[in-house]
Amino acid sequence: MTATALKFDSILLIAFGGPTSGDQGYDYVKGIVGDRPAAEDRIREVAGHYERLNGSPFNSLTFEQGEAISAELKKRGYEVPVYVGMRHWDPYVKDVMAEMVDDGREDTLAVIMAPHQCFVSWDWYQSTVKEANDAVGDKALNITYADPWWLEEGFITANAENIKKSLSKLGDKADDAKLIFSAHSIPVNGCPSCRAGDRTCPYGGQFEESAKATAAAVGRGDNYLTCYQSQSEFSRQWTEPDVSQVIKDCKEKGVRNVVVSPIGFLVDHVEVLWDLDVEAKETADECQIQYERAATAGTHPAFIKLMADRIVARFEDQPRIDAPLS
């Protein structure tokens, strides 16, 4: 299949981004939260996590996903460059899209690297791309978005297999372990369209659907819990319950072992490495609960295959999936 036969001349993976060194943490967190005096203590607290972990592996792991997706596409005969742009850190979407224009790209398939849809994980990415596209003027790219995948087999399989690996570490205690799914907490009524009554945020429902399907794939049926984590600041209401509170509740119910699956995240970064591997683990230790954390989807072959499937579906004009946000 030649490049001239392809519907798109480039792929753009759009992700959150993270600072690659600890001393960049404050600027990074403040850039997300904004200049809000009420949130200053929380900004410094979270920035400290980046400092103690010496930055985030988010960017490098997302680049690895891009390389894996590119390799999978090549195996299928689709030789098309895969670019990676970040919303909140270098390489910024605006800079990557300017590079794409310089490279002569015209028709781009954009893939939002977030499993569950809401204003901050879908609309905001699209507005970031639009702003970058507006900035290049008459050289603006034609942008098409790939469909989301919160309930697709490859995403479910990748997370289920990672959970099974964590359960295996518990030996004969695995059957009694409580399975807990976690996603990033978002502000309640944080979406302008939701506040206006124009739509209902699909984020929590999609998260629950992912959890239910993955639990079934692990053989747990309805025997699982869901929770949220990583509130950016505390000046407004965020989705609950928090992961640490869920672990404490498990102690009250006599649970001795838990496996936490960060199904709302695609790669390890500070929200996973600190909020789960440090803080949630400390809570479990205090509760005398054995704690295992499952890996994120990352470059699991089933997930990479799914991402390639999503991309090929648009090259081949296959029917769109039924998703609340497009």
Q: Which pLDDT tens digit goes with each residue over 175-214?
A: 999 999 999 999 887 667 666 567 789 999 999 999 999 9
| β-pair partners for 82 | 11
Domain membership flag for residue 139: yes
Is 119 found in the same domain as 200? no
What CATH code is carried by the domain that includes residue 117? 3.40.50.1400
pTM here is 0.95
Is 81 found in the same domain as 13? yes
Is 84 found in the same domain as 158? no
Helices (H), 183-237: 192-195, 203-218
**Other CB atoms within 10 A of residue 94 CB:** 18
Residue 317 is encoded by which pair of tokens?
């004009």
Per DSSP, 108 falls in state E
Nearest to 86 by CA among 12, 149, 141: 12
Q: Please enumerate in sequence order all residues whose Cβ is within 8 A of that of 105, keeping only pairs 6 or more positions apart, or say none.
A: 9, 10, 81, 141
Does 1 score more than 60 pLDDT?
Answer: no
The mean of the pLDDT values for the chain is 94
Instruction: Tokens 């742009």: give the residue.
Output: 85
Domain count, the chain: 2
Domain membership flag for residue 108: yes
Is 264 found in the same domain as 208? yes
**Would you mind telling me the total number of residues written for the chain in this entry?**
326
pLDDT digit string, tens, across residues 44-102: 999 999 999 999 999 999 999 999 999 999 999 999 999 999 999 999 999 999 999 99
Does 231 score more than 50 pLDDT?
Answer: yes
Is-contact 40 96, C-beta < 8 A? no
The 257-261 sheet, strands edge to edge: 224-229, 178-184, 257-261, 290-293
Is 205 found in the same domain as 170? yes
Residue 90's domain comprises 3-148+300-315
First-last CA distance in the chain? 29
Is 50 found in the same domain as 173? no
Lowest mean pLDDT among 141-155, 159-173, 221-235, 236-250: 221-235
Domain membership flag for residue 325: no
| β-pair partners for 15 | 86
**Other CB atoms within 10 A of residue 157 CB:** 20
Backbone angles phi, psi at 247, to 5 degrees: -65, -40
Chain centroid to CA 244: 20
Domain membership flag for residue 50: yes
Per DSSP, 280 falls in state I
Is 311 found in the same domain as 230? no
Residue 140 is encoded by which pair of tokens?
């603006």
Is 35 found in the same domain as 125? yes
Is 158 found in the same domain as 115? no
Does 276 score more than 80 pLDDT?
Answer: yes
Reported in sequence order, the residue ranges of 21-105 that DSSP labels E, i.e. its strands, are: 82-86
Is-contact 142 108, C-beta < 8 A? yes
- CA-based radius of gyration for the chain: 20
Domain membership flag for residue 322: no
Q: Please enumerate in sequence order all residues whose Cβ is within 8 A of that of 42, keeping only pairs 6 or more positions apart, or say none.
A: 33, 232, 233, 234
Backbone angles phi, psi at 11, to 5 degrees: -120, 135
- SS3 for 245? helix
Nearest to 152 by CA among 316, 317, 324, 310: 310
Domain membership flag for residue 320: no
Chain centroid to CA 161: 18
Is 116 found in the same domain as 237? no
Does 326 score more than 90 pLDDT?
Answer: no
Is 54 found in the same domain as 161? no
Domain membership flag for residue 269: yes
Domain membership flag for residue 321: no
Is 176 found in the same domain as 85? no
